[in-house]
Amino acid sequence: MELKGRPGVVNLLTAAVLLFGSVTFLIFALYPTSANIEYGSRQKKTFNAPRQNVWSELTEDEAADVNAFIIKQASHLNLTVHPKSAQDNFIFIVETLKPNKTDTAPYLYEDDAPKPERWAKAAVSQNFEDGPYMVYYQVGPLPITKDSQVLPLNYMFNSGRNYVRNPMYDFGAIQDFALSMAENVSDITQELLGATANREDPTDPRGLLAFPRGSRVETGGMILWMQFYRPGMGSGARTLLPQGIYAKVDATNSDINQWTVGEYYYNGVLYENEHEFRAALDDPDFKRTPANIDGSWTDTEDFGDYPDRDLPPPVSIQPYGPRYKLDRKERFVSWFGFEFYITTAQSTGVSLFDIRFKGERVVYELGLQEAMAHYAGDDPMQGGLEFMDSFFGMGKNMFELVPGYDCPAYADYLDSEWHQAYKTHNMPNSVCVFEYTADYLLSRHTAQYSVTASRNTFLTVRSVSTVGNYDYTIEYVFYMDGTLEVKVRASGFIFAAFYTANSTKSEDEYGHRIHDALSSSMHDHVLNFKADMDVAGPKNDMVRLAIEPITKNFPWDQPEQPKRNTMHLVEYPVIEETGMDWPKNSGEFYIIYSNETNAWGERKGYRITPGTGMGSTPHLTILNSTTLGDSARWAEHDIWVLKQKDTEPRSADPLNYFAPHDPIIDFTKMADHESLEYGAPDTSYDGDLVVYFNLGAHHVPHSGDIPNTLMHTSSSSIMLVPHNFADRDPSRQSVQGVRLQLSGRKAGGFAGEWFAGDESKSLARHNGDLRVRGEKKAETKAKYFGATYEKGMKVPVEAFEPDLSGYVSHSDDVGGLNFTGFGRGEALGG
Judging by beta carbons within 10 Å of its beta carbon (0-12, 13-18, 19+), is residue 750 exposed, middle or buried?
middle
Give the SS3 label for residue 472: strand
Return the exposure string of 460-477: e unless at least 16 CB atoms fall within 10 Å of the residue's CB, then b: bbbbbbbbbbbbbbbbbb
Rounded CA-CA distance 811/794 in Å is 34
Residue type, 478: F
Q: In whole angstroms, give the CA distance from residue 370 to residue 594.
A: 28
Catalytic residue among 88, 389, 524, 638: 389
Q: Which of 524, 699, 718, 551 is nearest to 623 (CA)?
A: 524
Distance CA 675, CA 56 (A): 33
Q: What CA–CA distance (Å, rounded) separates 309 from 52? A: 49
How is residue 221 annotated by DSSP? Answer: -
**Of 131, 229, 142, nearest to 496 (Cα)?**
229
Which region holds residue 193: left if phi is over 0, alpha if psi is between -120 and 50, else beta?
A: alpha
In this structure, which amino acid lies at residue 752? G
389 is catalytic: yes
Q: Which of 632, 646, 637, 652 is nearest to 690 (CA)?
A: 646
DSSP for 263-281 reads EEEETTEEESSHHHHHHHT
Burial 655-667 (b: 16+ CB within 10 A, else e): bbbbbbebbbbbb
* CB environment 84-99: b (16+ within 10 A), e (fewer): eebebbbbbbbbbbbb
Quote the CA–CA distance of 805 and 28 in Å, as a whole number.
11
Catalytic pick among 341, 364, 422, 470: 470
Phi, psi of 749, deg, nearest 5: -125, -165
Query: What letter does residue 115 receive in the DSSP assignment?
Result: P
Rounded alpha-carbon distances, angstroms, from residue 266 to 280, 352, 501: 11, 49, 10
What's the distance, Cα to Cα, between the start and end of the chain in Å? Answer: 28
**What is the residue-wise DSSP string for 408-441?**
-TT-EEEEEEEEETTEEEEEEEEEEEEEEE-SS-
Task: Give the residue among 440, 407, 444 at the shortest CA–CA distance from 318.
Answer: 407
Contact of 366 with 692, CB cutoff 8 Å: no
Q: What is the DSSP letter of 99?
A: P
H/E/C letters for each residue in 483-535? Answer: CEEEEEEEEECCCCEECCCCCCCCHHHCCCEEECCEECCCEEEEEEEEEEECC
What is the CA 656 to chain-centroid distance, rounded? 17
d(CA 133, CA 127): 6
Residue type, 416: S
Cα–Cα nearest to 706, from 464, 492, 398, 392: 492
Strand partners, 121: 95, 138
Task: Give the C-alpha separation, 95 to 346, whole Å.
Answer: 8
| 237 within 8 A of 183, measured Cβ to Cβ | no
Element (H, E) at 212: strand 209-216
The reply to whether 410 belongs to the active site is: no
- Residue numbers annotated as active site: 389, 470
